[in-house]
Structure 1
């Protein structure tokens, strides 16, 4: 194996370590944020809340597919969220037979409150970056996540 291949392997291993650190820290922060939202709920429930907050009303099927959860888990968690007044059901305006789930005002308020702490930690980490570094990081993450620019 030549030096170029060895260097590439070492770089890929370093990238893997950094991605693992990012994923682990993100997971820990998500669990903490979920507890701040409502400590009686499982963190997976907050994942649904967070998705609805980011993307708006959706069917249970879309929530399950988007969060990689099985439909029975989504159904159980949505029922808990409804009972607590965080989520509501509404008839789909596009398909009168379909049901869309959305956050209630209480759900939106509690989500915003819970995210303030998470966002402050995130912004603290990038606060010393100049715009070009932040732009490059964003572009590289978009490429890595295989997302088209919007």
Structure 2
């Protein structure tokens, strides 16, 4: 059986798509497991808010909604749960007395670090067999797929 270059290219592109879908699915599953490590009683979407606050610091609900692609009602409900459990607090905005800044409490910060360390250990275990040159090549290939090329 003779496979022409076009057929081979199509099969390779499909195989790449399958592997990227598998990677995305695995990353999502790992994020869900990490959220459960943080607090198994919360929805994974709540941990998305926690991770955003951990990475970016205090903000308002509008910015959280825009940054996490969630609607304001979902943000409000999840923030209410996080506040009720002592993971998030709200303070008056120093520049706008009517505004509110949301941030992690010490408990929220500590639990986030614990959950992320667990996630990192799983990730690092998976890439531990890569040589430095393989890891560098992998990074460059992913960059070429994720960073828009400028003309």
Sort the TM-score into its range (normalised by shorter chain).
Answer: 0.7 to 0.9
Indicate the larger mover: 23-32 or 96-105: 96-105
Q: 1:97-146 CA deviation, whole Å, 9 max, x = no partner? A: 43222111110100111122211110001112122222232233333222
Query: Normalised by the size of structure 1, how large is the TM-score?
Result: 0.85
Q: Which residue of 1 is the match for residue 22 of structure 2?
A: 21
Matched, 1:44 2:63: no
Matched, 1:5 2:1: no
Q: Which residue of 1 is the match for residue 115 of structure 2?
A: 114
Residues matched between the structures, number:
147
5+ residue gaps in structure 2? none
Indicate the larger mover: 18-27 or 96-105: 96-105
Are residues 92 and 133 of structure 1, via their aligned partners in 2, closer, same or farther at CA, if it must alter by over 3 Å?
Answer: farther
Runs of 4+ more than 6 Å apart: none
Q: Considering only CA atoms, is the larger Rg found in Structure 1 or Structure 2?
A: 2
Q: Distance in 1 between matches of 2:142 and 2:56?
A: 20
Note the 1:1-150 alignment, pairs <5 A.
3-93=4-94, 95-146=96-147
Are residues 11 and 95 of structure 1, via their aligned partners in 2, closer, same or farther at CA, if it must alter by over 3 Å?
Answer: farther
Q: Distance in 1 between matches of 2:101 and 2:4?
A: 56
Query: Normalised by the size of structure 2, how large is the TM-score?
Result: 0.84
Q: 1:44-97 CA deviation, whole Å, 9 max, x = no partner? A: 101111121122222212222222211110110011101111111233445554
Query: What RMSD over aligned residues (CA atoms) do the two structures have, in Å?
Result: 2.2
5+ residue gaps in structure 1? none
Are residues 98 and 137 of structure 1, via their aligned partners in 2, closer, same or farther at CA, if it must alter by over 3 Å?
Answer: farther
